[in-house]
Amino acid sequence: MSLPHEVLFIGVVAVSHLMTQAALGQALAPIDIIAGDFGTSNPGEMSWFIAGYSLTVGTFILISGRLGDILGHKRVFAFGYAWFGVWSGFAGFSIYPGRQIFFDICRAMQGIGPALLMPNALALFGRAYPAGIKKNIVFSIFGALAPAGFVIGAASGSFFSQLVWWPWAFWSFGVTCLALSLMTLLVIPRELAALPPNPPGFDVTGSIFGVFGLVLVNVAFNNAPMYGWAKEHVFFLLIIGLICLGAFLIFELRAEWPLLPIRVINSTSAFALGLVGLGWAAFGVWVFYTCRFLEIARAETPLTVAAQFSPAVICGLLAAGLTGFLLTHAPVSFVMMMSMLAFFIGITIMAVMPMHQVYWAQTFLSIIIMPFGMDMSFPAATIILSNAMPREHQGLAASLVNTVVNYSISIALGIAGTVEVSVSSHDGTMEDFVWGWRCAMYTAMGLAGAGTILGTVFFTRSLVREGWKVMDH
């Protein structure tokens, strides 16, 4: 590739991570404006705007990675942008029937787009670059675009919602995705589009049970704030979902081409995935309820909230650089422990914050600390899984971490929403809202605190077994 061609290739592939996070921010910052047009103010119903998207991103990543291995990563990647664009457009058109359920479905379908993009983007970079400094730089660019994507999405969604009309945020986003799909076909080198000579098989039965299980369990948790666990259908969905997941595990143990090769996941891998799940679950609650607090309790506009989150972009770049340094000078278990500590400190600062306070005090501090938890935990967990898995399953590591990250965010929103609704007196006062918000943040503190404790145990165990061992990454 010539230099201009290479720049375009890196840009089209890496920006998929930016678009993935932008789609999260575009519905979160103006969430009250969108919910108002659908006539809802129930926090459980509003959380579905975010939870539905994260649910499908996390559920379909493993499947889309396998589809890329079979059909070609370039084809699936281009289709992912196209799918992303079409369903973003439908999300905007949901204003016309005026039904929140249609918007929720569109958001969930929209999330399949990033699920198609993320693992195949990593695979394209992996095939395009051999191990070396250029490959490390490319992957660093890919990771550093996540905080920028959230802020850009929040800013654009807020701009259209406040000054134009919120559906235009989704329509313009959809057009951008369709343009990127076309650029994918033109820019990605032809040799990266070649089909593998011996493509793997596809585990249809395991895929069906896995998708149904993950979706049903998630729907149960996110419907609980609206209906309560006492409702039969909520508990029934949870039971059926768990049965499907049990069947999925059984089929995966016997499948010739399993989506999730359970036998290669050892205790170290399971520990790392558990830590990632706790940390990112806490992050999902933090980002959702921080936006809600700033817009309701402090009466900030969505555009102002997007601006207040903007320091996360710079801190994300600093965190990515620090992570690269630590991974070459410290055990990866130490990096994982520090990421959990960053999640816990950032959330605790926000959870104990008084209602009336200047932005530059606790809000600013919390926002600049949280990117360190995000940008340290993901690469550390990916390295731990990569080192623990045999060579033929190396591509599974990042996909599995991505799955846990997005699915844990969605589940945690349901848990926090249940807590908020349970403690609320529903009298509509600001004091009642703040108390519900604070209890939801205490839930996030508990998740991050558990991650910090387990992360310390994980690091101590590694230190006792291996000493201060710096791996060759």
- Residues 72-92: pLDDT tens digits? 889 999 999 999 999 999 999
Region 417-443 average pLDDT: 89
Note the residue count of the chain.
Answer: 473
Residues spanned by the domain of 239: 203-256
Identity at 171, one-letter amino acid code = W
Region 325-347 average pLDDT: 91
Considering the domain architecture, whether residues 212 and 323 belong to the same structural domain is answered as: no
94 lies in a domain? yes
Considering the domain architecture, whether residues 28 and 100 belong to the same structural domain is answered as: yes
133 lies in a domain? yes
For residue 312, give the H/E element and its range: helix 311-327
Q: Which of 190, 218, 243 is the last residue of a domain?
A: 190
Query: What pLDDT does 131 receive?
Result: 66
Q: Which of 190, 214, 243 is the last residue of a domain?
A: 190
Considering the domain architecture, whether residues 96 and 208 belong to the same structural domain is answered as: no
135 lies in a domain? yes
Region 290-314 average pLDDT: 93
Angle at 95 between CA 43 and CA 89, to 5 degrees: 105
The position carrying tokens 């969108």 is 34
Considering the domain architecture, whether residues 310 and 176 belong to the same structural domain is answered as: no
Considering the domain architecture, whether residues 248 and 342 belong to the same structural domain is answered as: no
Considering the domain architecture, whether residues 346 and 455 belong to the same structural domain is answered as: yes
91 lies in a domain? yes
Considering the domain architecture, whether residues 352 and 445 belong to the same structural domain is answered as: yes
271 lies in a domain? yes
Query: What pLDDT does 125 receive?
Result: 84
CA-CA-CA-CA dihedral for 102, 103, 107, 110, to nearest 10? 70
What 8-state DSSP symbol labels residue 263?
Answer: G
Alpha-carbon distance 437 to 416, whole Å?
9
The number of helix segments (H) and strand segments (E) in the chain equals: 16, 0
Q: Please determine, for residue 473, whether its predicted confidence score (pLDDT) is greater than 50.
A: no
Between 3-17, 257-271, 369-383, the lowest mean confidence (pLDDT) is in 257-271
For residue 45, give the H/E element and its range: helix 43-71
Considering the domain architecture, whether residues 185 and 228 belong to the same structural domain is answered as: no
Alpha-carbon distance 376 to 326, whole Å?
9
Alpha-carbon distance 185 to 40, whole Å?
41
The position carrying tokens 């230190």 is 463
Backbone angles phi, psi at 429, to 5 degrees: -85, 160
* Inter-CA distances, 457 with 273, 287, 430, 464, Å: 14, 27, 40, 11
CATH of the domain at 352: 1.20.1250.20
75 lies in a domain? yes
Between 66-75, 94-103, 346-355, 404-413, the lowest mean confidence (pLDDT) is in 66-75
Alpha-carbon distance 212 to 243, whole Å?
10
Region 347-367 average pLDDT: 94
Between 5-14, 136-145, 262-271, the lowest mean confidence (pLDDT) is in 136-145
Q: Please determine, for residue 393, whether its predicted confidence score (pLDDT) is greater than 70.
A: no
Considering the domain architecture, whether residues 207 and 156 belong to the same structural domain is answered as: no
Considering the domain architecture, whether residues 348 and 412 belong to the same structural domain is answered as: yes
What 8-state DSSP symbol labels residue 470?
Answer: P
> Structure tokens of 136?
């490390």
Considering the domain architecture, whether residues 275 and 380 belong to the same structural domain is answered as: yes
Alpha-carbon distance 427 to 81, whole Å?
44
Angle at 50 between CA 122 and CA 294, to 5 degrees: 115
Query: What pLDDT does 90 receive?
Result: 96
Residue 441 three-state SS: helix
Between 166-180, 195-209, 242-256, the lowest mean confidence (pLDDT) is in 195-209
Alpha-carbon distance 416 to 244, whole Å?
25
In the chain, % of residues over pLDDT 90: 57
Q: Please determine, for residue 392, whether its predicted confidence score (pLDDT) is greater than 70.
A: no
Burial code of 438-463, b = ≥16 C-beta within 10 A, e = fewer? bbbbbbbbbbbbbbbebbeebbeebe
Query: What pLDDT does 300 receive?
Result: 93
Using alpha carbons, select from 389, 391, 349 the residue that is nearest to residue 369: 349
Residue 433 has, within 13 A of its CA and on its CB side, a CA count of: 17
472 lies in a domain? no
Average pLDDT over all residues of the chain: 89
Q: Please determine, for residue 116, whether its predicted confidence score (pLDDT) is greater than 70.
A: yes
141 lies in a domain? yes
Considering the domain architecture, whether residues 334 and 461 belong to the same structural domain is answered as: yes
Contact at 8 Å (CB) between 56 and 407?
no
> Structure tokens of 82?
């196209």
CA-CA-CA-CA dihedral for 105, 236, 403, 29, to nearest 10? 40
The position carrying tokens 């039971």 is 239
Between 15-24, 371-380, 383-392, the lowest mean confidence (pLDDT) is in 383-392
Q: Which of 163, 190, 217 is the last residue of a domain?
A: 190
Residue 114 three-state SS: helix
Condensed to tens digits (0 to 9), the pLDDT of residues 406-429 reads: 899 999 999 999 999 889 887 778
Alpha-carbon distance 289 to 310, whole Å?
17
Query: What pLDDT does 452 receive?
Result: 96
Q: Please determine, for residue 297, whether its predicted confidence score (pLDDT) is greater than 70.
A: yes
Tally of domains within the chain: 3
Query: What pLDDT does 192 receive?
Result: 78
Alpha-carbon distance 99 to 92, whole Å?
12
